[in-house]
Amino acid sequence: MRALIQRVSRASVHVDGEEAARIGQGFVVLLGVADDDGAAEAAWLARKIAGLRLFEDDAGKMNLGLADVGGQVLAVSQFTLYGDARKGRRPSFTRAAAPAQAQELYEKFCSLLAAEGVPVEKGVFQAHMEVSMVNDGPVTLWLEKDSG
């Protein structure tokens, strides 16, 4: 399972011209699910993201987490994080989970993150989305947890 995390001052998702989700300060988490991922990977990522300290304290050090700043997460499923473009010009997505498995684990991840006390807004699974965000920093982090 892969997560691209971006610290934002605000973000939103629109589908078919309608707003589907919005957050203030927090993280946009683009989540990719691999074909061999399971609940353990979702749980690890949820715990890790809930505890990340990516916000600056009064001394200017990244020492504060989502709970410290009243932050939220906008979670967006993105199978293209498993795109492999090493050969040719069009990426292959053979490592990405099938839609049913990906949706189940995406929902599990969001539920586990919420259980950690993080307010979670979600994109629309399998929809063409317009994701707008104001990066803060910018601060971007890549997390990956493989099965096994």
Residue 132 pairs in a beta bridge with 12
Instruction: Look at residue 147 in the predicted model and tell me its pLDDT.
Output: 76
The mean predicted confidence, pLDDT, of the chain is: 97
Q: What is the pLDDT of residues 33-75, one digit of tens each?
A: 999 999 999 999 999 999 999 999 999 999 999 999 999 999 9
CATH number of the domain bearing residue 53? 3.50.80.10
What is the value of pTM for the model shown?
Answer: 0.95
The CA-atom distances, in angstroms, between 91 and each of 26, 81, 95, 103, 138 are 30, 10, 11, 21, 27
**What is the number of residues in the chain?**
148
Catalytically annotated residues: 78-80
Q: Where residue 20 falls among pLDDT bands split at 50, 70, 90?
A: very high
Domain count across the chain: 1
Which pLDDT score is estimated for 148?
63
- Name the residue range of residue 24's domain: 2-144
